[in-house]
Amino acid sequence: LGPARQAAPAADVLPLGDRSLRSVEQTLIRRVLEETAGNRSRAASVLGINRTTLYKKMKKFGLEFEPGP
């Protein structure tokens, strides 16, 4: 076997800071909302959750997503 090669960090990797479930879930929801340009139905589908569950989690985490220009 050759020397270990370290993969370049992917853009979708969560930060190594706070790894609590709450923090990871909040970060993931925020990123999916950004990727779907704020389309909550699509974001819920990507996350594999019901749209109303997404709304509840957004409220719980204080996430108000406004799509950028």
pLDDT reported for residue 19: 81
pLDDT reported for residue 9: 47
pLDDT reported for residue 44: 98
pLDDT reported for residue 8: 46
Per-10-residue mean pLDDT for the chain, 69 residues long? 51 68 94 96 98 97 74
Q: Which two three-digit tokens encode residue 1?
A: 């076997």
DSSP 2-68: ----PPPPPTTPPPSS---HHHHHHHHHHHHHHHTTT-HHHHHHHHTS-HHHHHHHHHHHT------
pLDDT reported for residue 64: 85
